[in-house]
Amino acid sequence: MTEHSLWRLSRALHRAINDQHFDDLAAMIDDHIDWAVFGPIDMFPFLGMRHGKTAVLEACRQISQNVRVHRYERESVLLGEDSASAMMRFSLTALDTNRPISLRVAQFAQFRAGRLISMRVVVDTFDLVEQALGRAIHLPKIA
Amino acid sequence: MTEHSLWRLSRALHRAINDQHFDDLAAMIDDHIDWAVFGPIDMFPFLGMRHGKTAVLEACRQISQNVRVHRYERESVLLGEDSASAMMRFSLTALDTNRPISLRVAQFAQFRAGRLISMRVVVDTFDLVEQALGRAIHLPKIA
């Protein structure tokens, strides 16, 4: 049984972000990849939409310069033939401030011929912003 | 071919939130359901963790009193035998302010015998907060 592309992607992303080793990731990203990590790009310029392999690798390079991944846990995984989704929890450090960040992330990936052609990531971004700032943002109660 | 429980859940949630009709939803929620919609509960008390059917129905009742769903679009769906994940985009109105809200949501559901036993939802919460406030929150650039 062939290994699902999700596991190879997961290892490649980990090596890229933590070890600045981008070859494995580059080898499995399609030239015409469509990529989006939804979040506030004013604060985190490496989030947002990217089109094409060069732009995605550059975003991953910027992520690798800003965070270190200590641990991740997959709470749910669904695998399709050429697709995968995962609900994950990451323990990170923000490298500029040395702040620990615990992050909930949902990831949807599509592959073609073993290469990543689409990635959509939703993050609990308000929680991320508060942890990156190191303080709570006051919010009115609306309900 | 039997319809996947996700579609029944989707209709039941829609009827609950938009029409305040909770019977279909109640019928498909397991008594011991584990439910979490990750987000800032200070501002949105109907988000957060809920355990058990009564608590989940009450949270859905509160959601129905706070938003109306105009449109939703499933951008990715993965179906397992007793599980499902969906990346969705919602167009809502916040009922207290009449503000339109466009929301990115990732949902992971697990079923047993046709009933929902686990639900995990990740939302682009910073975007949600800004839209609900009706203004941008100033953020420093960190990268």
A39-93 per-position pLDDT tens digit: 999 999 999 999 999 999 999 999 999 999 999 999 999 999 999 999 999 999 9
The answer, for A94 touching chain B at a CB cutoff of 8 Å, is yes
How many angstroms separate the CA atoms of B88 and A141, rounded? Answer: 25
- In B3-66, DSSP assigns E strands to 29-38, 48-51
CA distances from B68 to A122, B64, B93, B131 (A): 22, 7, 5, 15
CA distances from B28 to B8, B45, B49, B93, B134 (A): 9, 24, 19, 26, 36
How many angstroms separate the CA atoms of B56 and A81, rounded? Answer: 33
The amino acid present at B9, given as its one-letter code, is L
**Cβ-count burial of B56 within 10 angstroms (0-12 exposed, 13-18 middle, 19+ buried)?**
buried
pLDDT of residue A143: 62
How many angstroms separate the CA atoms of A107 and A5, rounded? Answer: 14
pTM of the complete model? 0.95
Chain B residue with the nearest C-alpha to that of A65: B143
ipTM: 0.94
pLDDT of residue B2: 84
Three-state SS at B40: coil
Three-state SS at A82: coil
* Surface of B (21-50) touching A: CB under 8 A: 38-40, 42-46
Place of tokens 């009922």: B95
* Surface of A (56-85) touching B: CB under 8 A: 62, 65-66, 75-76, 78-80, 83-85
- Give the tokens for residue B11: 């209709």
**Subunit contact A80:B75, Cβ cutoff 8 A:** no
**Strand ranges across the sheet with B67-79:** B48-51, B29-38, B115-123, B99-112, B83-94, B67-79
The answer, for B7 touching chain A at a CB cutoff of 8 Å, is no
> Which residues, in sequence order, are CB contacts of B1 under 8 Å at separation 6+?
none
Per-residue pLDDT tens digits of chain B, which is 143 residues long: 689 999 999 999 999 999 999 999 999 999 999 999 999 999 999 999 999 999 999 999 999 999 999 999 999 999 999 999 999 999 999 999 999 999 999 999 999 999 999 999 999 999 999 999 999 999 988 76
Indicate whether A121 pLDDT > 80: yes
pLDDT of residue B34: 98
**Subunit contact A87:B80, Cβ cutoff 8 A:** no
Mean pLDDT estimate for chain A:
96
pLDDT of residue B140: 86
**Subunit contact A110:B76, Cβ cutoff 8 A:** yes
| Cross-chain CB nearest to A124 (options B94, B122, B139) | B122
How many angstroms separate the CA atoms of B38 and A104, rounded? Answer: 8
Helical spans, DSSP H, in A1-143: 5-19, 23-27, 53-66, 125-133
When pLDDT is averaged across residues A95-118 and rounded to a whole number, the result is 97
Indicate whether A1 pLDDT > 70: no
A33-45 per-position pLDDT tens digit: 999 999 999 999 9
Taking alpha carbons only, the member of B77, B39, B46 closest to residue B62 is B46
How many angstroms separate the CA atoms of B78 and A127, rounded? Answer: 26
pLDDT of residue B142: 72
Shortest alpha-carbon distance between residue B30 and chain A (Å): 19
In chain A, residues with a C-beta closer than 8 Å to the C-beta of B123 are 122, 124
- Give the tokens for residue B29: 């929620």
